[in-house]
Amino acid sequence: MSKKVVIIGGGIMGVCSAYFLHKEGHEVTVIDKSNFSKGASFVNAGYITPSHIISLAAPGIITKGLKWMFNPASPFYVKPRLDLDFLKWGLAFKRSATKQKVAQSIPVIKDINILSRALYTEIKTSKDFNFHYEHKGLLMAYKHEKAGEQEWEVGQKAIKLGLKVENLSAKEVEAIEPKANLNIKGAVYYHSDAHMTPGVFMKNMLIYLKNNGVEILSEEEVKDIVISDKKITKLITDKREIKADEFVMAAGSWSPIISKKLGIKMLLQPGKGYRINVAQETNITIPAVLLEAKVAVTPMDGFTRFSGTMEINKINHKINPIRVNAIANSASKYYHGLQISTQDKEAAQCGLRPVTPDGLPYIGKTSQYNNLTFATGHAMMGWSLGPATGKLVSEIISDQKPSLDLNPFHVERTF
């Protein structure tokens, strides 16, 4: 049965949900307060990451975070503040950062990533719209043996899950990436990963949706939500009121603000990250994470992107030049001769990752409302998991059996 569905938020979660809902014959509207050109879904590294089986909340991260707190150029920073939501999130994060919880999440993260990668391929082969998508794997490049050993432990776990992973020496890396001039000890090579140019996908997806009858409301903000009897009846935006049968919460880092209006307390914090685009030729052809520096390098459509940092703080889009410089300086240390210009650094942009305490997203319905589906909280894997999430949202709203067990993603799970 066709339903009228309104999606709050037009990042990767919103547009992928719209895509699959529309394919199922629903009448879909996407509302976004931005003009669909900025934010996490545009600045990300574009990785499709079956390799990222370990979530951010892993043993050791708290100690590392505490050490890094006093370094203005560190890749991970938590701004301490007296805010109840932040404190609750922090406690839940600490409780999630155990060996046992991480081990439980590994197969869940792998399965949803594999599903999503398959769906990206399906969208590509459907020829609904064109976009850059390459499957060349991901190098976890390291300068120090210790970092390499730690990553190889993760690699071996991934091999047990069926992924192809190799431990390469510097010479072996040079053989597959001969012109990039990498200055490293070696790299763990995950063949499973793919990469894309997010801006191209977002632009062409939006054109496809519009041309196929999906209503796209740009620069319109959801201000309030009207409820009656366990159901949302309408949204109130700054321009109109919108009624629908079903609603999707895909508002990324803003999801807790809107959820509060519904009496839903969602543990989620924004994690700011930056990107620098370099248009000049870098000869980098295989994506690489520079392990010690935590910088992601992606050869995109017409430029190379360097991205990184995770700043847990209040919602803000201030650009901190110290962190932008730190990304550029680290990159130059891993690639001999790489120059990132002042102009490129000045044009850096940022986006907010919606970070849950355990690194797993919130997907599905809550017990409080019959017609509200969540598609948020994807932290560092949102680009990767867009299509799988969109597909699951569509299955939930279409009353079909979901492709994956939704329990690990439950909005009301305890941490």
Under a CB-based contact definition with an 8 Å cutoff, are residues 350 and 38 in contact?
Answer: no
Name residues whose C-beta falls within 8 Å of residue 298's C-beta, 6 or more positions apart in sequence: 45, 46, 47, 195, 287, 304, 305, 307
The residue from 275, 345, 365, 391 that contacts ligand FAD (CB under 6 A) is: 275
Name residues whose C-beta falls within 8 Å of residue 241's C-beta, 6 or more positions apart in sequence: 226, 234, 235
- Residue 354, token pair as written in the block: 């919606």
Q: Which is nearer to ligand FAD, 49 or 197 (CB)?
A: 49
CB of 72 to ligand FAD, least distance (A): 18
In 213-280, which residue ranges form alpha helices assigned H by DSSP? 255-260
Nearest to 131 by CA among 140, 122, 142: 122
Q: 3-class SS at 80?
A: coil
By the rule CB under 6 A, 40 interacts with ligand FAD: yes
By the rule CB under 6 A, 270 interacts with ligand FAD: no
The residue from 354, 364, 387, 390 that contacts ligand FAD (CB under 6 A) is: 354
Q: Backbone phi, then psi, for 107, in 5-degree steps? A: -65, -30
Binding to ligand FAD by CB under 6 A, coded x per residue (else -) over 202-221, reads -------------------x
Under a CB-based contact definition with an 8 Å cutoff, are residues 312 and 268 in contact?
Answer: no
The residue from 340, 378, 387, 411 that contacts ligand FAD (CB under 6 A) is: 378
CB of 393 to ligand FAD, least distance (A): 12
Written as one letter, the residue type at 309 is T
CB of 355 to ligand FAD, least distance (A): 9
By the rule CB under 6 A, 222 interacts with ligand FAD: yes
The residue from 29, 34, 150, 167 that contacts ligand FAD (CB under 6 A) is: 34
| Number of residues located near ligand FAD, criterion CB under 6 A | 45
By the rule CB under 6 A, 330 interacts with ligand FAD: no
Kindly indicate which of the ranges 39-47, 55-63, 155-163, 317-325 contains the residues binding ligand FAD, using the contact rule CB under 6 A. Answer: 39-47
- CA 114 – CA 246 distance, rounded (Å): 28
Nearest to 291 by CA among 308, 310, 270, 273: 308
Q: Which is nearer to ligand FAD, 13 or 290 (CB)?
A: 13
Q: Which is nearer to ligand FAD, 40 or 92 (CB)?
A: 40
By the rule CB under 6 A, 380 interacts with ligand FAD: yes
- CA 203 – CA 200 distance, rounded (Å): 5
CB atoms within 10 A of CB 190: 26
Binding to ligand FAD by CB under 6 A, coded x per residue (else -) over 306-325, reads -x------------------
Q: 3-class SS at 265?
A: coil
CB of 323 to ligand FAD, least distance (A): 11
The residue from 282, 383, 388, 398 that contacts ligand FAD (CB under 6 A) is: 383
Under a CB-based contact definition with an 8 Å cutoff, are residues 243 and 29 in contact?
Answer: no
By the rule CB under 6 A, 251 interacts with ligand FAD: yes
Written as one letter, the residue type at 292 is E
Q: Binding residues for ligand FAD, per CB under 6 A? A: 8-14, 31-34, 39-41, 43-47, 49, 221-222, 250-254, 258, 273-275, 296, 307, 351-354, 376, 378-384
